[in-house]
Chain A
Amino acid sequence: MLKVEIWRGTEEGRYETYEVPSQPSQTVLDLVTFVQRKLDPSLAYRFACRVGVCGSCAMTVNDTPRWTCRTHVQKVVERGRVRIAPLRNLPIVKDLATDMVPFFDKGQEAKGRFIPSDAAATSVAEISPEDPKRKEADAAIECIGCAVCYAACDVVSWRPEYLGPAALNRAWTLVSDARDSDRIGHLQAVADDAGCHACHGHQNCVEHCPVGINPTRSISGLKRLVLMAAVRGRL
């Protein structure tokens, strides 16, 4: 038997302890699902794909943000106990479900969307996979939007307006994309007071990203480009 402590409530709330049978290859998401199906159907949590693609099941597991569907209990259990809470730095809707709206809004605030050029409508851009800029973009592009980095980031907790690692990482993939037509617009979006310069390089994001992205590297790249644009008066 595992003792599973789960946060119940909203910002105000408490941990409830549940007993869940231990199984081989069990994931943290399996624990939560067992509690919801067998012990307390009122438990709220969020998941979809169960295979590490959709990015919807992230939670705080023993004080560390993780994707729960790909986290084996065996890896995180401490003396027969697992403590599961909602992600940090986001409002709590109920129990383990956070309100992801501020996180996704910051993706838009960072102008994290592709701006096509007119030429892209009539011709296909030829981009070599070996192109150095393309490689930079490729290294950062597989983000699943799970908000684990956002929850791990202390700068977000100290400056709630800070755009955060995921949004800035996304912006970096776009300024590194030769097909995007609004490089200065992307740089302006990340140069504002909540932008890339608030990052201190703690690298909590790098340590916790479940798909192995290095947002600090992306943010450092943005810092350099914004710096050069600013001193040349192009922002």
Chain B
Amino acid sequence: MKRLELWLYIAQRASALVLAPLVLLHLGVILYAVAGGLSASEILGRTRSTWMWPAAYGLFVVAAAVHAAIGLRVVLREWTSWRDRSLDLATLGIGLVLLLLGLRAVQAIA
């Protein structure tokens, strides 16, 4: 693909812009929920109370899969000698695995 690095950069920044408010929300939920210990019924009671929690976390896992896969690709490219086409395929693989695990987790709490 022409200018692959540029488009990956754009995807990385776009996913970051999506993630920023969601991570802020997530940190807020963590601080709220951790008091008094965690339990499955408490977590699921919250996430199943409205469709907005699964929707927010669905968006979260899509953006996180994109962001983490591209980020790891940059690190591997710069800090190891792995930089050929197979790295791009591995990046795609990492992103897809994270996406599948993420969607499964969202389904579980929905």
Is the A/B pair a real complex?
yes
Contact surface of A with B, Cβ cutoff 8 Å: 155, 158-159, 191-193, 195, 197-198, 226-227, 230-231, 235
Residue of A nearest to B79 (CB): A158
Asked whether, in the complex, the Cβ of B77 is within 8 Å of the Cβ of A230, the reply is no
Residue of A nearest to B77 (CB): A159
Asked whether, in the complex, the Cβ of B6 is within 8 Å of the Cβ of A226, the reply is yes
Asked whether, in the complex, the Cβ of B6 is within 8 Å of the Cβ of A191, the reply is yes
Given A158-B78, A159-B78: A198 and B5 interface contact (C-beta under 8 Å): yes
User: How far apart are the CA atoms of A158 and B77 in the complex, in Å?
Assistant: 8
Number of A-B contacts (CB under 8 A): 30
User: How far apart are the CA atoms of A230 and B3 in the complex, in Å?
Assistant: 10
Cβ of B4 under 8 Å from chain A: yes
Q: Using Cβ atoms and an 8 Å threshold, which residues of chain A touch B3?
A: 191-193, 230, 235
Cβ of B10 under 8 Å from chain A: yes
Q: Using Cβ atoms and an 8 Å threshold, which residues of chain B touch A226?
A: 6
Interface size on B, residues (CB 8 A): 11
Cβ of B53 under 8 Å from chain A: no
The smallest beta-carbon distance between B15 and chain A, in angstroms, is: 14
The smallest beta-carbon distance between B14 and chain A, in angstroms, is: 10
Q: Using Cβ atoms and an 8 Å threshold, which residues of chain B touch A195?
A: 5-6
Contacting A at CB under 8 A, from B57-107, are: 77-79
Contact surface of B with A, Cβ cutoff 8 Å: 3-7, 9-10, 13, 77-79
Q: B4, B5, B79 — which one has the most chain A CB atoms within 10 A of its CB?
A: B5
Q: B3, B13, B77, B79 — which one has the most chain A CB atoms within 10 A of its CB?
A: B3
User: How far apart are the CA atoms of A198 and B9 in the complex, in Å?
Assistant: 8
Give 17 A-B contacts (CB < 8 Å), ordered by A residue. Answer: A155-B78, A158-B77, A159-B77, A159-B78, A191-B3, A191-B6, A192-B3, A192-B5, A192-B6, A193-B5, A195-B5, A197-B5, A197-B6, A197-B9, A198-B5, A230-B7, A230-B10
**Those 10 A-B pairs whose CB atoms lie nearest each other, nearest first:** A158-B78, A197-B9, A193-B5, A191-B6, A197-B6, A197-B5, A191-B3, A230-B6, A192-B3, A159-B78
The smallest beta-carbon distance between A175 and chain B, in angstroms, is: 16
Residue of B nearest to A227 (CB): B10
For the A-B complex with A195-B6, A235-B3 known, give 7 more contacts whose Cβ atoms are closer than 8 Å.
A191-B3, A192-B5, A193-B4, A193-B5, A197-B9, A230-B10, A231-B10
Q: Using Cβ atoms and an 8 Å threshold, which residues of chain A touch B78?
A: 155, 158-159
The smallest beta-carbon distance between A216 and chain B, in angstroms, is: 16
Q: Using Cβ atoms and an 8 Å threshold, which residues of chain B touch A192?
A: 3, 5-6
Q: B4, B10, B77, B78 — which one has the most chain A CB atoms within 10 A of its CB?
A: B78
